Structure 1
Amino acid sequence: MGEKAKVYFTDFRTKVDVPLTAKLQKLIRKAGIGSIDMGGKFVAIKMHFGELGNLAFLRPNYAKAVADVVKENGGMPFLTDCNTLYPGSRKDALEHLTCAELNGFNSITTGCHVIIADGLRGTDEVEVPIRNGEYLKTALIGEAVMDADVFISLTHFKGHEAAGFGGTIKNIGMGCGSRAGKMQQHNDGKPHVIEEKCRKCHRCARECGSDAIDYERGVAHINQDICKGCGRCIGACAFDAIENDNANANEVLGCKMAEYTQAVCDGRPCFHISLIQDVSPNCDCHGENDAPILPDVGMLASFDPVALDQACVDLCEQQTPIRNSQLGDNLARPDWHHYHEHFKDSNPNVAWKETLEHAEKIGLGTREYELITM
């Protein structure tokens, strides 16, 4: 058994006149961010700016708190993300920057610039070797991410309709992939509709990330030639009418995300921050956010992305589900098959353990950690 990783934690309680942003800064200093040589270096802060209509994403105040600490240490920070694979409000750099500004991210509110890492059309990418890669040998990463000397992830920890939860590995692995890189991660599974279960509610079509669902035959139909395999329709369907043709597609997706994270982090200084708040059942890529499934928990930081995700999962599993939520509704159903895992009980088709197991296997980090409460 190797050495346990250190994960630093603090809750959202604070004293009068002490902002939570100051508490976050104290946490990341305690976790050792100051040990990274940032003097005169470009520092990428990878985060999610939220889809238009979504209000669960991290506030820009937290980004500014991290950027200010980077500047204190002599670094030159910038906020970054890559364009999306699906057609939303972040599919090219112009729309992405507009979305970021509308959601409050600009050089005034955050103290640093926003750069879309894979460029105007999502094609500015670098092919990066994946150390110990089993599913992939190289990753297609947004160029600005790889140009940075230091990499910091700032993650909103929440549920996810395919990956189980959206944590540090999801933020880095999928988030730093160019559009082609995202396609490379998603292409192991395309769902289909079980026609006798379809209720014709059209929610899957509204959630589709590639306009691949129509109702020409009276029930939902997925055009396999257009479908990108993002899995959003599976999470959207309340009637279990959509399933994946590849039974282990979500497991493979998680493993590929771990390998992409390895490509991003390998060989340079990295630091990771995760906030468990507004724990929505689905990704911030949605143009809405349903009620939180769990209470707000706290803020965490570590040099180890695997340990950080594992600690976040463990803390979430200790929480009592919120009754008026997707998770609470599922658990209240008399016919519900209880998985006794909050994220799987919220979105039954997900897989997340395989992601952390594979991440540990390829040397990205360890699931063994010491939680240091501040």
Structure 2
Amino acid sequence: MASKVYFADLRARSADENKGSKIQRLFDKVYDGMFSEDDLVAVKVHFGERGNDSFVNPILLRYIVDKVKESAKKVFLTDTNTLYYGSRHDSVEHLVTAILNGFDYAVVGAPIIIADGLQGKNERIVKVGQKNFDVVRIAGDIYEASGMVVVSHFKGHGISGFGGALKNLAMGCATIEGKLEQHECAKPIIDGDCDLCSVCVDNCPIGALKLAEDGVEIDYEKCIACMNCMDTCPNEVYDLNWEKDVPVFIERMMEYSLGAVKGKEAKILYFNFLTNITPDCDCVAWSDYPIVPDIGILASKDPVAIDAASYDLVNSQMGFKNSMLEKNFEENADKFRGVWSEVDARYQLVYAEKIGLGSRDYHLIKI
């Protein structure tokens, strides 16, 4: 059975057509009274790395928070600390980054709680009983929340093809150890000529790289798959086993998504913002030029359906020639394959549906 996905475009010629009004109307379409006054409701969002500016605008997030507060008085914004060593690896820097990026109480109307604790060790073990994981590690304060509103910036991603609601659940609700469990099947391999420049060695946060006479060596026992080496190497020495490892990585992500919603499936709403559709995750410390025009905002109670609809809407656009797109510029061509040619992003949707997270069949309803 097709799931309902509600869509609002970005055209506006009056006050009741502005983005805030449309967000409120989208909320009313998907909200069925699932929150009560005493519920602790987490608004799961990505606060953006310092230097990134393509994350969901906190001014718009306020409209969602205010709608939740009509039913539940205890609402908090949340995210989890990162596996990589950027500006959100521990809760202190994470909170500072969130505030610098505009997620202040005065703006969003809710406090921030980093759900996995000071150093990412506040976790609950959740049984999922799937192919890759029997149990997963979910951030304690997300697990303890009564319900969630998952607010996602839909964009590209170098290993999963795109990031939307499903990835926001998977990586975004996992502890640091949980993120490592998802990533450890897809560690970098050496597939190029090293000139011994040592840039990657200097940028490895845990000392897993060293220079030998004939090039760089990786200590896979230490490697946390943060991909700093791939991101910083000037000579493209590193690669991934795209055919063998990346599909397993996607499966692991989807199994973590299943753990994130466990026990509160009927008390979660999803919003996807199809704006600033960049080629990269908001975890990078920059925002590249978008690959397609801004499209709109979607809301649903089904994370698979909302990502499927978002994926199709992005692909229906004409691609921007002055972006990171290398091919598939025409309407209805796969824009994410046009950037990340080695990744079949649709596998997220296929596997998520297979394990019961939702349906790829959707009915798009424009408000």
Give the TM-score taking structure 1 as reference length: 0.89
Worse-matched range after superposition: 71-80 or 159-168: 71-80
Consecutive unaligned residues of structure 1, counting only runs of 5 or more, are: 334-338
Could you say if the C-alpha distance between residues 201 and 253 of structure 1 is closer, same or farther in structure 2, counting changes exceeding 3 Å? same
Q: How many residues align?
A: 362
Q: Which residue of 2 aligns with 1:73?
A: 71
Percent sequence identity is 36
Per the alignment, in what secondary structure is the counterpart of residue 15 of structure 2?
Answer: coil
After superposition, residues 115-154 of structure 1 pair within 5 angstroms as 115-130=113-128, 132-154=129-151
For residues 241 and 126 of structure 1, the distance between their equivalents in structure 2, rounded to whole angstroms, comes to 38
Alignment of 1:23-42 (within 5 A): 23-30=22-29, 32-42=30-40
Deviations 1:257-285 (A, max 9, x none): 11111111132111111001111111100
Tell me which residue corresponds to 1:254: 250
**What is the distance in 1 between the residues matched to 2:64 and 2:132?**
34
User: Match for residue 44 of structure 2?
Assistant: 46
Structure 1 residues 205 and 346: CA distance shift in structure 2, 3 A = farther
2:106 to 108, 113, 116: 108
Counterpart position of 2:345 = 352
The question of whether the paired residues in 1 share the 8 Å contact of 2:304 and 2:358 is answered with yes
Mapped contact 1:86–1:210 kept (Cα < 8 A)? no
Counterpart of 1:364 in structure 2 is: 357
Aligned pairs for 1:205-220 (under 5 A) are: 212=208
How far 1:226 sits from its partner (Å)?
Answer: 3.5
8 Å CA contact 1:10, 1:373 repeated in 2: yes
Cα distance, 1:240 vs structure 2: 6.0
Give the Cα–Cα distance (whole angstroms) in 2 for the partners of residues 232 and 244 of structure 1. 13
2:303 corresponding residue in structure 1: 305
Q: 2:314 aligns with which of 307, 313, 316?
A: 316
* Runs of 4+ residues over 4 Å off in structure 1: 198-223, 231-241
Give how far 1:137 is off: 1.0
TM-superposed deviation, 1:138: 0.9
1:93-150 alpha-carbon deviations (Å, 9 max, x no partner): 11110110111112111100000000001000000111x5221011101111011101
SS of 2:327's equivalent in the other structure is helix
1:162 matched to 2:164? The reply is: no
Assess, with a 3 A threshold, how the Cα gap between structure 1 residues 77 and 218 changes in structure 2: closer, same or farther.
farther
Q: Unmatched 5+ residue regions in structure 2?
A: none
Query: Do the aligned residues in 1 keep the contact of 2:155 with 2:280 (CA within 8 Å)?
Result: yes
Structure 1 partner of 2:294: 296
Letter of the 1:373 partner, please give it: K
CA distance in 2, matches of 1:284, 1:205: 24
Q: CA deviation at 1:225?
A: 3.9
2:117 is paired with a residue of what secondary structure?
coil
Matched residues in 2 for 1:164 and 1:193: separation? Answer: 22
Q: Any idea what the Cα deviations from partners look like across 1:36-55, whole Å, max 9, x if unmatched?
A: 13322110111100000001
- Per the alignment, residue 189 of structure 1 pairs with 186
* Contact kept in structure 2, 1:235 and 1:347, CA below 8 Å: no
**Cα deviation code 1:195-234 (max 9, x no counterpart):** 23x6889887798676655666586654434422244655
Report if the CA contact (8 A) 2:46-2:282 is conserved: yes
SS at match of 1:27: helix
TM-superposed deviation, 1:323: 0.9
Could you say which residue in structure 2 is the equivalent of 1:56? Answer: 54
Query: Is the 1:162–1:232 Cα contact (8 Å) retained in structure 2?
Result: no
Q: Is the 8 A contact 1:128 1:141 kept in 2?
A: yes
- When structure 1 is superposed on structure 2, of 226-235 and 310-319 the one drifting more is 226-235
Structure 1 residues 345 and 216: CA distance shift in structure 2, 3 A? farther
